[in-house]
Structure 1
């Protein structure tokens, strides 16, 4: 019977890992559809950002209570995976609590620590469910979360509560069976949390306890494998991608904008025509200005989109959004990810990209959203995992202005003044100091 269970488990496990790996390859391909950019400089600073932002969740602790609860959920998810390792090996090798004889007296202490974490995860998830669905925190009420995104967050929180409850149920039934010296349930020592839950299960018969223990074991691991394959379709993909995204984050000062050398050269010539005599001959037309679709963005922009937690801290800090403008930096990232997924599906269907008549600009992100941005960098500052919505906004806006000559009248007037007067104001350079007269 144990061999049959091991074979069934092996088939399920291999299928789950295969499906996850296939989707992970698709996401990697979608991210690499973006332009190449070298982000390997200053590795020491990048590793520091990874440790502080992704692992240490430094920015989360600006709000200590929420940060502590999130850390419970995060630590529980990461650390309890050590228990998942034992469950997987038990399933593949037809064993029961494989690590118990190996770790000896340390084993019950380790499982007890996992159980405490499981309780903290349950508490944290319950509080987050209340914040989202009862207290209606403002940043969770945005219309950009309507539909699937709002449900997604609730599904994940409920799933984590169920998985942790199954873990505690499995351990409690196991403990009672150990006390009764039933079958292969060898004594491991007491567990901290499940030991206090044993009175609930004591009245039950041994065969029913075995059914509960095995049922909780199977549901727990099947739930974990299902969660693994749900992850790539969910905002909770940030659990994995926050680490590379923090490592490859922009190290430049937040106020520094990305200039195009070809455009910068033309401006320098306009400011000082004498430079034209020494200017090298052009090698061809200037590069494409800005971005219209995901192919024009960098792979880091697309990694940002897939790493977005949809927490809304960027949108909550955005002055344009606060004053009622249409712009939501969170929506910018969600739209970019949706467009990357749509392009990926076309590639899967046709073996390569075929123009679908759509683009990120206008079909997903409107001109009104882009023009509302003040480039204040508040969204970049607030993101816990180094996402930069502003870089996408400025590239799309650059395309509008420089490729399509599409800009509000006020902007066009300013551009004209800069071109003719070398300043935003409508005054000749010769008359610029006339105000001092008299």
Structure 2
């Protein structure tokens, strides 16, 4: 590469990583719109969960076919991108396969990269068939129409192109090595691209060199483009699965949080010696401005992080008993709707110098209907199935809390039950004096 090529490469890197840093900054800003929640306890267990679930993919293999294929793609991309270090050095300093200086271990590196690249292509092709030919139900539900479906296929296309270009680049490089062309010295082992290299037989060395350079540039530009596409894609979980599994709720599934302000109020009502007109004790939480959540700013920051982390795999929805029985609820759609609304809010912030101006929309009603919320059985199947520790249920419960405590908009059956509890001390409609009658029937 000439000095001009090196300079151009440096400029491309600065633009690519600069745009990525801008998106990361916006992502952090959007997540911080959420309410505070303490997730700093038990750091040892949190780290173990992150290693086991995010790095070890332990929940993915509960569905073996998809799990094994996903691990191949995951490991392939992580390991192959070690080669990115060599590309960066070569691009900046005009060297060629600079890491070959490590000696014979370089053969094993390149060989493993190629085998993994081939396996990634195989896995991606199978993923494409599952989504677009076999039409698995969880990939063809109504909440994956439009952009969500296109996004998944775009990602599969990008992954395929990157791997094919990588192997073609190596094949051209190998061919030039055998010719002793220019600076192409014989280094590396090419167990896959050696079967591609023969297609260049009969080509002029200059033409093969042009193919090698074109593939080299497409590969690095494709990686930069993919990196910056992540913000707009469900594949943001590549980065966010690690913090999401680390900061996930450690409480037992099914344990719901109580509002401290409401708990304190109940305790005050039950204390015969308490002064109902006394000022709150120092340090006590004030009554919140809103009970529950009607918009994304009412949710906590971890719930917003989870919205960006969602892989849209549909395991939650395919295991949801409400969805299976034909109800409108889809836990996947809950997370996708939360992210969509968060992006709407983000656009408002961008247009108003970081200040939020009421846009007349909210998460409740505009993105998620009460019908969806009340269809949930709170069984935690969605939480159990999620491969990256997301809890759609926590969002559902916070929005239900808003409907009940702020709008008194609970279903009639629930209102009747709460009225009975208030008047009779039990969910059923009978006089308190008759509560013990069952004893006489025993």
How far has the Cα of 1:279 moved from its partner?
Answer: 6.7
1:403 alignment counterpart: 406
Match of 1:108, SS state, is helix
How far has the Cα of 1:294 moved from its partner?
Answer: 1.0
2:243 alignment counterpart: 244
Of the three residues 372, 377, 399, the one matched with 1:374 is: 377
1:354 aligns with 2:357: yes
Question: Quick check: 2:261–2:286 contact (8 Å CA) kept in 1?
Answer: no
Q: Structure 2: how far apart are the matches of 1:300 and 1:139?
A: 25
1:336 aligns with 2:332: no
Q: Structure 2: how far apart are the matches of 1:191 and 1:163?
A: 17
1:62-211 equivalent positions in 2, closer than 5 A: 62-101=62-101, 103-211=102-210
Q: Deviations over 1:392-431 (max 9, x none)?
A: 0000110001001101111110110111122211123321
How far has the Cα of 1:170 moved from its partner?
Answer: 0.4
How far has the Cα of 1:202 moved from its partner?
Answer: 2.4
Q: Structure 2: how far apart are the matches of 1:401 and 1:285?
A: 20
Question: Quick check: 2:322–2:377 contact (8 Å CA) kept in 1?
Answer: yes
Runs of 4+ in 1 over 6 A off after TM superposition: none
Q: Deviations over 1:315-344 (max 9, x none)?
A: 011111111111111011011111111111
1:277 aligns with 2:273: yes
Of the three residues 427, 433, 437, the one matched with 1:424 is: 427
How far has the Cα of 1:82 moved from its partner?
Answer: 0.5
Match of 2:4, SS state, is helix
What runs of 5+ residues in structure 1 fail to find an aligned partner? none
1:29 alignment counterpart: 29
Structure-1-length-normalised TM-score: 0.96
Q: Deviations over 1:91-146 (max 9, x none)?
A: 11111111112x11111211010000000100000000000000111100111111
1:286 alignment counterpart: 287
Match of 2:196, SS state, is helix
Match of 1:58, SS state, is coil
Question: Quick check: 2:111–2:188 contact (8 Å CA) kept in 1?
Answer: no
1:52 alignment counterpart: 52
Q: Structure 2: how far apart are the matches of 1:211 and 1:411?
A: 71
Q: Alpha carbons of 1:419 and 1:223: their partners in 2 closer, same or farther (altered >3 Å)?
A: same
Q: Deviations over 1:63-84 (max 9, x none)?
A: 2222111100000111111011
Question: Quick check: 2:89–2:95 contact (8 Å CA) kept in 1?
Answer: yes
Q: Structure 2: how far apart are the matches of 1:327 and 1:139?
A: 14
Structure-2-length-normalised TM-score: 0.95
Match of 2:248, SS state, is coil
Match of 1:165, SS state, is helix
How far has the Cα of 1:193 moved from its partner?
Answer: 1.2
Q: Structure 1: how far apart are the matches of 2:360 and 2:154?
A: 34
2:387 alignment counterpart: 384
Q: Alpha carbons of 1:339 and 1:276: their partners in 2 closer, same or farther (altered >3 Å)?
A: farther
Q: Structure 1: how far apart are the matches of 2:108 and 2:438?
A: 80
Q: Alpha carbons of 1:298 and 1:391: their partners in 2 closer, same or farther (altered >3 Å)?
A: same
Deviates more, 1:211-220 or 1:423-432: 423-432
1:312 aligns with 2:309: no
1:437 alignment counterpart: 440
Match of 1:88, SS state, is helix
CA RMSD of aligned residues (A): 1.5
How far has the Cα of 1:196 moved from its partner?
Answer: 2.7
What runs of 5+ residues in structure 2 fail to find an aligned partner? none
Question: Quick check: 1:294–1:302 contact (8 Å CA) kept in 2?
Answer: yes
1:257 alignment counterpart: 256
Question: Quick check: 1:34–1:298 contact (8 Å CA) kept in 2?
Answer: yes
1:325 alignment counterpart: 327
